[in-house]
Every structure is written in structure tokens, then in C-alpha cells.
């Protein structure tokens, strides 16, 4: 039941929402449930694992339809009981349902995110409205909601343990906030809107992926100027993979675009690659997302109006830490002026170098990364390519395991080859155990490399969550990245920013693995809080223990020199104007989209006008332009919630200072225990604001964030 409650409550991840909108081709016969591997009980070691090696798209549609039907039958049985509603026969009974769907979802998530194909996108599009209809049948089950409400409002509720009360409230709110109280035409319209949104959001995601696959920039040997050998090797491998041996491929993903713009000395090519990347979903063709955005915004606004809300953001934020759009905007507006002021300083430094080189260049967005790198070298004598020589993908993974051992008491051991099925040869699996007792905690899957059909970016997910109330289940967690695979036998070197992202996503996995909650639904999260744990883990990358042991030269094995470490730390806030501004522009745009009357809204005009009103620097663009902003238009996990990264970062910066102030620094065992016990293990069993106070003894303060970014701290807040 947990997957649906997360969806109903608006707590599901965007990736999960995408994974919940798929099926198979119509001509495929539906296999019997007994022979459908997607529905089969997970067998094998480690409490059973998904049969990723046997998954077949031909089974997907039937599996999902059977699983949905079975779940609805389970819930109807609970709803139609003659006994009075209790915590045990209603809430706990609901927690035990949906096991078939829990088995199907991981396979669909893989097909959606890791191994997409044109065939599967047809299935996604077909099944999206059916899944929406399925969720509506749950939220509009009057008898079921009446029982949930009876438990929530009944005398027994007062006698429940706090964790149980939290569970009851989450289940109740999942219904109440998603149309359960509507009647008649309003109820029918609410369900119809959900079905249409499911179709549109799925199409949005598929359009972006199609543009990422369709547009590849191929270079010849005369167009490689400025590119370091590691980038050339990766581009050559990407071209060979696409049957273009002898050329070099810059793919239409951030992991390929970003380093090219940082080093290429061909300005025309830089502009071409930049425009291709930032035009995804905005090319006026079959994959154009502008009309889809307009319709999504109108439907979301109409849907929440049925529930009595002024705008979509007001509905979305009601149970998050920010509570209101105004509070979220206040945080962003407090940081925005300092961010764009810093961009002005950064551009001035870059323009000075361009002028000194007699380049005849006025800094444009496709110049920013290149000249920022030149400024980095000039100001801090810091060469990003030199830093990369010490950032080996494999050694960084070892570093993450080390931190997990020191702070979480976890041990990671590779599973024997072939003992755990995987969906691609690149995927590797580790067993996670307690360092002291050796007790099994779960498995960690890693899918690190980019490939055709894999969505861009980096993300974490879980194939099975921890629970204890119905027979203990251990965690199956996963990290997924898009690093460019090097030539066979060569070390994969990545940038400092990518190393931080690697740690970030591993933080999500540790959050899954740390869970000690009893009930499945409590493994959910609050959007403007769930990024905190992952952001915090980034801080261990710069600790001396990690640097000295794991940041070693890929050829010599020598540790990173102390002087290079000092340069990195000295330049810690370098380019912070660019990073903060490109992120905040997207977050502010998200909130503006969802608090503005969407009638007659043209996405491109609205984007231009809103950014102009914010005094957006012309040299920087949104990190995610509207037509490719999958966080907010591919699903509803981050919609009106992209600000959550910064909200979480206030917590992150404040918590980092708690470690910095401790006797043992970032490896202080007392602070680490408080962190794990109060902010990782409890998942969503405790209100996030309360959980943070339990850790820190007070609420977080914005000053730590401003200090972290090198921005001035207003005297009034000191």
C-alpha cells in the first residue's frame, strides 16, 4: 500500500512517478499471472531479489494490470468489513496490501529510467491514464476513507504510539488532500484531470529523452582543441558506441556538455553544443513541450481549485516544512540578491581575462564555464583538469564506503558474481552489513555509466524498503549516474562537481539503508527535507581522511598534494554565483509557474518575462529551462517544490557546523549517532521540524548557508 499512499499524499519521487506510468504493446498477449516473472515472489539470497536478468517488456502490461486489480480487491475487502474500524483492521491491514505492485514497480522503474526504449515509451503512454484511474479509485473509495477517518478521529488514536499516530495521519491526509472529500461532478472531474496529467507528464519526460538521444554533436580530430585527454577518450568511446568510430561524440546530456563547454577552445562549437542542450523540448517539432506545459499548469490549477486552494503551490506545500509558497519564496528571495551580485563579480573577472587575451569576446552563456576555469587558474592557481587526475570513480566509491563505515557503521562487500541478477553488465551489487555484528542490512546496486535509453542526471531509488511489522524486510537500494565510460582498462576520471553529486546520491542510499521504521508508509519523505541527508553527505568529500586515503593520482597512486588540497579549500566558494543563480532561477520559476493564473500562459514568454523581472544575468541560464524541467513537469514529486534543495541546504549547512564544532569534527561519534538516530533512521516517522530539533536542539538558521556560499550575512541576523 505504501506506493499509493506516497502518490496520494504527493510525496513520491519524480522518478517513481515516471516509473508508475508504463505498460506493454497492445499486440502482446497477457501471460497468466503464474508465469509472469514480474509478479513472481522474489527468490534467492538476501531475502529475495528482483529477477532483473529475466525481465521482459512483453510481461509488463499484464503484470501491472493484474497487480492493480489485486490491490483494489484487497482494499475493497478492508473497506467492506462489518467490524468497526480500528488501527489493526484498517490501517495495518492497508499496510499489508499491494505486494504484487511492490514487486512490479522496480522492473518498471528500470525500463523507465535505466533502459528506456521506443517500445516501452508506447507502453508508458498507454498505461499512464490507467494508472491514474487506479489511484483515483483508491482515493475515491468512500467506504475505505470512512474507515480511515474513523480511526483518525476515534478514541483509539489517542492511545497509539507516536509512530503509529504519524502513520494514521499520513494515510488520512493522503486521502483528504487528494479528492476523497469531493462528490458528484467535482469528483469525476478530479479523476479525469489526474488521468490527463498522467498522460501529459509521461509525454513530457519521453520528449526530453527523445531529444537527448536524437541530438549528438560529432567532432573530427581538428575540433578537439582545448579538450583534455580524458574528455577526448570518453568522447571517442561514446562515438564508437554509436557506430561512429574515428569520430568524437558530445552527447546531449549534462555529463557530456558540461566538460566540453569548460575546455573547448572552439567558440562556435561551444555555442552549438550549448544551444542543443538548452533547447531540449523546445525545437518546435513532435517533441516540443511548450503546449504540454501550458496544459499541465491549467489542469493542476483547476484540480486544486476543486479542493478550495488558491493555487497549486498552496496545495503542494501545506504539509511540507515551508508550509506556504510565501515562506519558500522568502528564503529564495533572501539569497537571490547576493547570488546575482556575485555573478556580476564573476563575469567581470572573466571579461578581464578575455580582454587581456584580445579575444574580442563579450561573455555569453556558452563562454561562462571556459572563462570561469581560466579565472580559477588565475585566482587560485587551480586547474580543474589537474584535480580530476585524483578523482577516480572507483576510489571515490571506496571513499563513500569508508564514510558509511565511520558514520553509519556499515560495511560494503561485493556479492559473488552471478549471485544477484542485474539488468545490465555495468551494474554491480554490494551487500551491506553492520560492521560490529555482521547483521545483514541490505543490498546496494550501482549503475554508473551513461548509455542510450538511460535518462540523464543522477538519482537514487530503492527496490525494497525496510519494514518490521509484518516480517522484517531488508533494503534494496540503488544509485544511478551517467558518467561517460572510458576505454577498456582506463580509469574513469570525473570533475569535482561530479564527485560531490556522487556523494550526494549515495546519501539518499544511506537514508534508505538506515531506516528502522516499522511501517512501509513511514519510509516516505517530505520534499523540502529529503534532500538534506544527501546534501550533508557531500561534506565528507573534503574531509582530510577521505582526501588523504582516496584522492590519489590515477597513474602514480600518490595522494593529492597538500598544496592542491589547500587550493581546493581556498576556492570552495569559487563560482558560487553561477551555481546558486542557475539553481535559484529554476526554483523561482517553478514557484512562479505554480502561483500564477495559468490561463493563456505562454511558457517561453513567461520564462523570459519572469527572469527579466528578477534581473537574471544574461550570462547565466536556468539550470533546467522550462521545456526540459523534468523535476516539475514529468511528475509531481518536485513540482512547486524545487526550492526544497535550498530549504534542505539551510539544514545541511547548519548541521555541518554542528560537526565542525564537535571535538571529533566530521567523524565525531556522538554527533554521528545523533545524526543517524534522529535524522536518518526515523525516515518519515517523525515530523521533520521536530526531528531536526531533536538533533540540533534548535531550528536551523539561514546564516550558516550564507557563510557556506561566501555571501554576506546581514547584520540583523547575526
Residues 6+ away with beta carbon under 8 Å from 200: 292, 295, 296, 299
Angstrom distance (rounded) from CA 15 to CA 479: 12
Partners of residue 413 on adjacent β-strands: 431
Angstrom distance (rounded) from CA 572 to CA 586: 23
Q: How far is CA 439 from CA 25, 73, 410, 474, 506, in A?
A: 43, 37, 10, 11, 21
Partners of residue 392 on adjacent β-strands: 493
Angstrom distance (rounded) from CA 19 to CA 636: 13
Angstrom distance (rounded) from CA 224 to CA 244: 16
**Polymer length in residues for the chain:** 718
In Å, how far from its chain's centre is CA 496?
Answer: 19
Whether 505 is catalytic = yes
Angstrom distance (rounded) from CA 363 to CA 354: 8
Which element (helix H / strand E) includes 430? strand 428-434
Residues 6+ away with beta carbon under 8 Å from 412: 401, 404, 405, 430, 431, 432, 444
Angstrom distance (rounded) from CA 700 to CA 623: 26
Which cell numbers hold the place of 204?
513530457
Is the CB of residue 603 less than 8 Å from the CB of residue 632?
no
Which cell numbers hold the place of 484?
561517460
Residue 664, SS3 per DSSP: coil
Which cell numbers hold the place of 251?
552527447
Starting at the earlier edge strand, list the strands of the sheet with 459-464. Answer: 410-414, 428-434, 440-449, 475-483, 459-464
Is the CB of residue 150 less than 8 Å from the CB of residue 85?
yes
* Burial (Cβ within 10 Å: 0-12, 13-18, ≥19) of residue 83: exposed
What are residue 701's phi and psi, to 5 degrees? -120, 145
Angstrom distance (rounded) from CA 359 to CA 131: 56
Which cell numbers hold the place of 375?
579565472
Which element (helix H / strand E) includes 651? helix 644-661
Tracing cell 508465469 back to the chain, one arrives at: 35
Angstrom distance (rounded) from CA 268 to CA 366: 9
Catalytic residue of the set 74, 505, 619, 636: 505
Angstrom distance (rounded) from CA 198 to CA 649: 30
Angstrom distance (rounded) from CA 190 to CA 176: 13
Is the CB of residue 509 less than 8 Å from the CB of residue 401?
no
Sign of CA dihedral 662, 668, 669, 675: positive
Partners of residue 552 on adjacent β-strands: 559
What are residue 481's phi and psi, to 5 degrees? -135, 180
Angstrom distance (rounded) from CA 405 to CA 346: 39
Count of Cβ atoms closer than 10 Å to residue 615 Cβ: 10
* Burial (Cβ within 10 Å: 0-12, 13-18, ≥19) of residue 417: exposed
CA atoms within 13 A on the CB side of 540: 30
Count of Cβ atoms closer than 10 Å to residue 486 Cβ: 17
Is the CB of residue 46 less than 8 Å from the CB of residue 420?
yes
Cα Rg of the chain (Å, integer): 25
Known catalytic residues? 505
Amino acid at each position: 500500500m505504501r506506493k499509493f499512499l506516497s502518490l496520494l499524499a504527493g510525496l513520491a519521487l519524480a522518478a517513481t512517478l515516471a516509473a508508475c506510468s508504463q505498460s506493454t504493446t497492445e499486440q502482446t498477449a497477457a501471460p497468466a499471472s503464474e508465469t509472469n516473472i514480474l509478479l513472481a515472489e522474489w527468490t534467492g539470497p538476501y531475502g529475495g531479489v528482483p529477477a532483473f536478468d529475466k525481465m521482459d517488456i512483453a510481461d509488463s502490461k499484464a503484470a501491472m494490470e493484474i497487480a492493480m486489480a489485486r490491490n483494489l480487491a484487497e482494499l475493497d475487502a478492508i473497506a467492506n468489513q462489518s467490524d468497526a474500524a480500528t488501527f489493526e483492521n484498517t490501517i495495518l491491514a492497508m499496510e499489508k496490501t499491494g505486494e504484487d505492485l511492490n514487486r512490479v514497480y522496480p522492473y518498471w522503474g528500470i525500463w523507465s529510467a535505466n533502459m528506456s526504449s521506443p517500445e516501452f515509451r508506447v507502453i508508458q503512454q498507454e498505461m499512464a491514464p490507467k494508472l491514474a484511474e487506479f489511484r483515483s479509485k483508491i482515493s475515491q473509495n468512500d467506504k475505505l476513507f470512512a474507515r480511515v477517518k474513523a480511526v483518525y478521529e476515534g478514541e483509539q488514536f489517542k492511545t497509539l504510539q507516536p509512530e503509529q499516530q504519524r502513520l494514521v495521519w499520513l494515510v488520512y491526509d493522503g486521502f483528504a488532500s487528494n479528492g476523497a472529500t469531493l462528490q458528484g461532478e467535482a469528483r469525476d472531474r478530479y479523476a479525469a484531470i489526474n488521468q490527463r496529467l498522467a498522460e501529459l507528464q509521461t509525454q513530457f519526460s519521453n520528449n526530453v529523452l527523445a531529444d537527448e538521444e536524437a541530438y549528438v554533436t560529432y567532432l573530427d580530430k581538428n575540433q578537439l582543441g582545448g579538450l583534455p585527454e580524458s574528455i577526448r577518450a570518453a568522447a571517442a568511446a561514446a562515438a564508437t558506441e554509436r557506430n561512429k568510430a574515428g569520430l568524437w561524440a558530445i552527447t546531449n546530456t549534462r555529463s557530456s556538455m558540461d566538460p566540453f563547454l569548460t575546455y573547448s577552445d572552439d567558440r562556435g562549437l561551444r555555442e552549438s553544443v550549448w544551444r542543443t542542450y538548452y533547447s531540449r523540448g523546445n525545437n518546435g517539432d513532435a517533441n516540443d513541450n511548450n503546449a504540454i506545459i501550458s496544459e499541465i499548469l491549467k489542469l493542476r490549477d483547476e484540480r486544486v481549485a476543486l479542493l478550495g486552494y488558491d493555487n497549486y503551490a498552496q496545495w503542494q506545500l501545506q504539509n511540507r516544512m515551508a508550509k506556504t509558497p510565501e515562506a519558500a519564496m522568502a528564503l529564495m528571495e533572501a539569497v537571490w540578491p547576493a547570488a546575482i551580485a556575485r555573478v556580476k563579480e564573476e563575469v567581470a573577472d572573466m571579461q578581464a581575462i578575455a580582454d587581456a587575451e584580445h579575444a574580442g569576446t563579450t561573455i555569453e552563456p556558452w563562454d561562462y564555464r571556459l572563462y570561469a576555469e581560466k579565472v580559477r587558474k588565475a585566482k587560485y592557481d587551480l586547474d580543474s583538469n589537474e584535480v580530476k587526475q585524483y578523482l577516480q570513480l572507483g576510489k571515490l566509491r571506496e571513499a563513500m564506503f569508508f564514510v558509511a563505515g565511520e558514520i553509519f557503521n556499515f560495511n560494503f562487500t561485493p556479492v559473488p558474481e552471478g549471485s544477484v541478477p542485474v539488468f545490465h553488465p555495468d551494474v554491480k551489487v554490494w551487500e551491506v552489513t553492520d560492521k560490529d555484528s555482521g547483521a545483514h542490512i541490505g543490498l546496494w546496486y550501482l549503475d554508473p555509466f551513461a548509455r542510450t535509453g538511460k535518462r540523464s542526471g543522477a538519482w537514487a531509488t530503492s527496490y525494497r524498503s525496510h519494514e518490521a511489522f509484518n516480517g522484517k524486510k531488508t533494503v534494496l537500494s540503488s544509485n544511478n549516474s551517467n558518467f561517460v565510460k572510458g576505454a577498456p582498462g582506463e580509469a574513469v576520471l570525473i570533475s569535482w562537481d561530479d564527485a560531490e553529486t556522487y556523494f550526494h546520491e549515495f546519501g539518499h542510499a544511506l537514508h534508505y539503508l538506515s531506516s528502522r521504521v516499522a511501517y512501509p508508509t513511514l519510509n516516505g519523505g517530505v520534499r523540502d527535507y529529503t534532500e538534506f541527508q544527501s546534501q550533508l553527505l557531500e561534506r565528507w568529500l573534503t574531509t582530510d581522511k577521505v582526501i588523504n586515503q582516496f584522492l590519489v593520482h590515477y597513474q602514480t597512486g600518490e595522494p593529492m598534494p597538500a598544496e592542491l588540497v589547500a587550493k581546493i579549500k581556498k576556492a570552495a566558494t569559487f563560482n558560487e554565483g553561477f551555481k546558486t543563480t542557475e539553481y535559484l532561477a529554476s526554483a523561482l520559476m517553478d514557484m512562479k509557474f505554480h502561483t500564477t493564473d495559468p490561463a493563456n500562459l505562454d511558457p517561453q514568454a513567461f520564462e523570459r518575462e519572469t527572469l527579466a523581472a528578477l534581473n537574471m544575468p544574461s550570462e547565466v541560464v536556468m539550470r533546467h529551462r522550462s521545456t526540459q524541467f523534468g523535476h516539475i513537469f514529468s511528475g509531481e514529486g518536485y513540482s512547486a517544490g524545487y526550492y526544497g534543495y535550498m530549504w534542505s541546504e539551510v539544514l545541511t549547512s547548519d548541521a555541518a557546523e554542528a560537526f565542525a564544532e564537535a571535538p571529533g569534527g566530521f567523524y565525531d561519534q556522538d554527533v554521528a549517532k545523533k545524526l543517524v538516530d534522529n535524522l536518518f533512521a526515523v525516515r518519515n516517522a517523525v515530523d521533520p521540524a521536530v526531528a531536526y530539533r531533536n538533533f540540533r536542539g534548535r531550528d536551523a538558521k539561514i546564516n550558516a548557508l550564507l557563510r557556506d556560499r561566501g555571501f554576506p550575512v546581514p547584520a540583523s541576523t547575526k
